[in-house]
Chain A
Amino acid sequence: MRLQPLLRIVALRYRLLWARVRSRQGKIILFLCGYFLVLPVVIVLLAGGIGSGLAAIRTGRAELVAEIVLGSVYLEAILIAALLGIGSTPAFSDAALRRFPLSWLERLGARQGTAFLEPLWLFILALNLGVAVGFNVFLGTSSLWLAIPAAILLVMTNFMLARALSVLVEWITTRRGGALALMMAFVLFVGLMPFALALFGSAAWWQHGVRPVLLSILQLTPPFAAAGAMVGSSVLASFYGLFLLLGWLVLFAALLVLLEGLPPAARTVAGAEAVWNSPYDRIARAFGSELAPLVGKILRYYVRSPQLWMNYPGAAIFPILLSFQFSRHQSDPLAGFLVMLAMISVVGHMSMGAMTMNAFGFDGSGFRRYFLLPVSPSIVFRAVAIVPLLLGAALIPITLGLWAAFWRGHVDALMLAMLFCSGFAGMFLFQALGLWTSLLTPRAMGFKIKLGNKLSFAQNALLFAGIGFLLGLPIGLLILGSKTVLLYWWVLPLMMAAAACFYFGTLRAGARVFTERRERVLSIIERGY
């Protein structure tokens, strides 16, 4: 494998990144600031590692502290990369690299190299290096010449595993029902996790001799192997850790190559008869002849999107599970209700995936057709807004019905009304914001995309605002307590009315912006700038 072409591809990736940024006014400064910010963040992460070293001194259990820190970082990186798609997508596809005179191995290296040099992995590397340096400086453990390679190898295995999982998830979701199955598995995993942890912590579990077996298995995992290499009692122990890491690296790389070679699912049913009067058309007809074809088209886009199948069931079940988990060990008897009151506010938005935040980005060159049609752009904009509202609104009563079926505490009509108001207020608010991000900061997006985060800054901000709501609002309501919340029940209908006003105001104002910005949006969607 030649290193020079590989480095050229990596440089090209950064040049393209730069080119994309420089084409927009004011973004240059943002780009520079963003990259200059990396330095302080790296310093903070290094300090985190040094902090771990200090913690190890205080507790006197260096290897255990290293194992916990490295293990947590390892798992978090996998979750961020494999689930949120950050730092797990190569900048170039294999097909794109075939244009250049590169061997298979060089293409593989270039693709993984461009993904590996994403900021996420640099942060993880900084943290791992921090642990290695921190332990060496404060405890004098191992040699830096062994600890630093261990930190580098650890982040490489971490990256390879995250990539392999991303590819696996991507592959599963291309199979029929795969996205749904995957989401259900994830929900079950999250739902059962607290019970598993409770079992893990119980004394009976340990008394049956599970601990030594479990620990001996854990010792073989990459973060524990790296901890062994960094804090190992002897040079031999450190070499053993390094050897294990190398083994994992080879294994994960082989797994990645194997998974990337899996044949794509055949989604085509050639020879099938054309279906007229499908359920999409029947639903769309309810919106009148002018809107019906557009609603039918957009409904098809949503329902055929793997994103919807991944998010929709999870958006219903996840809040219910979290409401039961959050409310455990709470003194307030209506804690479950309070948590659900918060959670339901994001159901109508989070269930749609990225599509509501980037409504036109999935149309590709089809976007230009909206302006060739003999309808006013405001009709198109209304149709674009109606469909996610319809799908999101349908999920709110389903979620509440499921919650009510399992909820064992008190619930009355007022509480149910509050839940509905919360659900619709959140849906109106977030979907209106989604319409604005779709108009003002669109991004070209492949329709089949399931993973990978290609959203714009504003779209990401909206996404994380939703996640923040999901996590922060329940805590806020629990602090207020059920008595206060029930006393001020009337705030919720007011919030819903305000959110609805904002939404309908967005429909009016957004239609004008849609017309005015069409050439800009078209340029971004078709050319990427």
Chain B
Amino acid sequence: MTHAIEISHLAKHYGSVVAVEDLSLQVPAGCFFGFLGPNGAGKSTTIGCLTGLLDPTKGEVHLLGEAFKIDDCISLKRRIGVMPENLGLFEALYAHEFLAFQARMFGLDEPTTQRRVSELLEALELAGQGKKPLSEFSAGMRKRVAFAAAVIHSPEVLFLDEPFESIDPAGVAMLKQWLRHLVSEEKTVFITTHVLETVERLCDRVAIIKNRGALVWEGDITALASDGAIRVDGQEFRTLEELFLKLSGERYTGTLNWL
């Protein structure tokens, strides 16, 4: 099996603060991969290290069979698409300008850029926003623009950090359909989200991490989509939520009497 993403012993420290410590993971090519964990577990930091935004303190990352080194990753960056946490939009640009900028930076020629930008804006119901800066877009609209920017160059691996939050149900349905199509075309989708039902229906495989990126489980979850169950450590789980709550750690179970 070829792997689109291979992480070995990845660590990221911010001075004395350890965000991720010794994470190893493999994501098969053409897989819809869910990367789950509680808040602050290190999901966004991991994505940052996988996409060239953050310089890992230790460990190695291979994307599409090639070593991904922060100082020498330009050709690999052309093959991946990223929708980062905080979206990373240039707020003073108009939507079409921003998407055209993104397309040109990823090497698309001018006619292709114009065609794809127009098609994406149309499909994402953002057409007709000609002279509206991105700063004036609603949260959902901004997310759609960030998604369009991530896919405009037809990446082979797509990293999406919390892609569905703030988007209306119709928009979410459309994105899901597009993502399924991408995976059917043998492209790899790597998403982080807290919407476990969505992961359950979309993803083939899931990794669950805890504090500092500690991997607690990684495996196939396709059985859950067809109302089946998965067995972990001899215990059967019918939903991803059950599994997640079981594996992601101890939590406060008391009640707040004043609430």
Give the B-binding residues of A (Cβ under 8 A): 267-276, 289, 292-294, 296-297, 300-301, 304-305, 362-369, 371-376, 447-448, 515, 519, 522, 526
Contacts and interface: CB of A to CB of B under 8 A. Distances in A.
Nearest to B99: A274
A365 B86 contact: yes
Contacts of A364: 89-91
Interface string B102-125: 001111000000100110010000
A293 B105 contact: yes
The residue among A294, A363, A366, A376 with the most chain B CB atoms within 10 A of its own CB is A366
A489 B129 CA distance: 55
Interface stretch (B32-40, B74-82, B171-179, B246-254): B74-82
A372 B89 contact: no
Contacts of B55: 519
B140 interface: no
B52 interface: yes
B168 to A, nearest CB: 19
Contact of B53 (A297, A362, A366, A368): A368
Given A372-B53, A374-B106, A447 B92 contact: yes
Contact of B89 (A300, A304, A366): A366
Given A365-B88, A372-B52, A374-B105, A297 B93 contact: yes
B131 A365 contact: no
The residue among A274, A304, A371 with the most chain B CB atoms within 10 A of its own CB is A274
The residue among B14, B78, B97 with the most chain A CB atoms within 10 A of its own CB is B97
B195 to A, nearest CB: 22
Contacts of A270: 128-132
A25 to B, nearest CB: 11
Contacts of A362: 92
A373 B77 contact: yes
A293 B90 contact: no
Given A274-B96, A373-B105, A268 B131 contact: yes
B150 to A, nearest CB: 9
B113 to A, nearest CB: 9
Contacts of B94: 274
Contacts of A301: 90, 92
Contacts, number: 106
Interface in B45-92: 51-55, 71, 74-75, 77-78, 82, 84, 86-92
A372 B74 contact: no
Contacts of A366: 88-91
Given A275-B130, A300-B93, A368-B88, 14 more contacts: A268-B131, A268-B136, A271-B130, A272-B128, A274-B96, A276-B96, A293-B105, A301-B92, A304-B92, A364-B91, A366-B88, A372-B51, A373-B106, A374-B75
Contacts of B117: 274
Nearest to B135: A447
B28 interface: no
Contacts of B100: 276, 293
B87 A376 contact: no
A323 B55 CA distance: 52
Contacts of A367: 88
B70 to A, nearest CB: 8
Contact of A269 (B71, B75, B131): B131
Interface in B118-155: 118, 121, 128-133, 135-136
Contacts of A292: 104
Contacts of B90: 297, 301, 363-364, 366, 369
A278 B77 CA distance: 28
Contacts of B135: 447-448
Contacts of A368: 53, 84, 86, 88
A447 B92 CA distance: 7
B234 to A, nearest CB: 42
Nearest to B77: A374
